[in-house]
Amino acid sequence: MEYLVNFWPLLGVAVITVAFILRINPMLAIIAALLTSGFAAHLPFMKILELIGSGFLKTRNLTLLTLLPLAVVGLMERHGLRERAQALIIKFNQMTCAKLLISYLLLRQLTASIGLTSLGGQPQMIRPIVAPMVEAIGLKQNPQLDDTSREKLKALAAATDNIGLFFGEDIFVAFGAVALIATFMHEHNIHVELLHIALWGIPTAIFALLIHSARIYSVQRKLLPHQSNTEMEKN
Looking at the structure, tell me whether residues 149 and 113 fall in a common domain. yes
What is the value of pTM for the model shown?
0.70
Q: How confident is the model at residue 1 (pLDDT cuts 50, 70, 90)?
A: very low
The closest alpha carbon to 130, from 102, 106, 109, 100, belongs to 100
Q: Is residue 175 scored above 60 in pLDDT?
A: yes
CB 135 within 8 A of CB 154: yes
CA 7/CA 31 separation, integer angstroms: 19
Q: How many domains does the chain have?
A: 2
Q: Quick check: is 228 in a domain?
A: yes
Answer with the one of 73, 96, 123 that is the final residue of a domain.
73
CA 136/CA 54 separation, integer angstroms: 47
CB 104 within 8 A of CB 161: yes
Q: How confident is the model at residue 4 (pLDDT cuts 50, 70, 90)?
A: low
93-141 pLDDT tens trace: 888 999 999 999 999 999 998 888 888 888 888 988 999 999 999 888 8
What rounded mean pLDDT belongs to the chain?
83
Looking at the structure, tell me whether residues 101 and 189 fall in a common domain. yes
Looking at the structure, tell me whether residues 86 and 28 fall in a common domain. no
Answer with the one of 73, 96, 114 that is the final residue of a domain.
73
Top pLDDT among 135 and 178 is at: 135
Q: State residue 226's pLDDT score.
A: 59
Range of the domain at 205: 81-234
Strands (E), the chain: none
39-62 pLDDT tens trace: 888 888 888 888 877 877 666 655
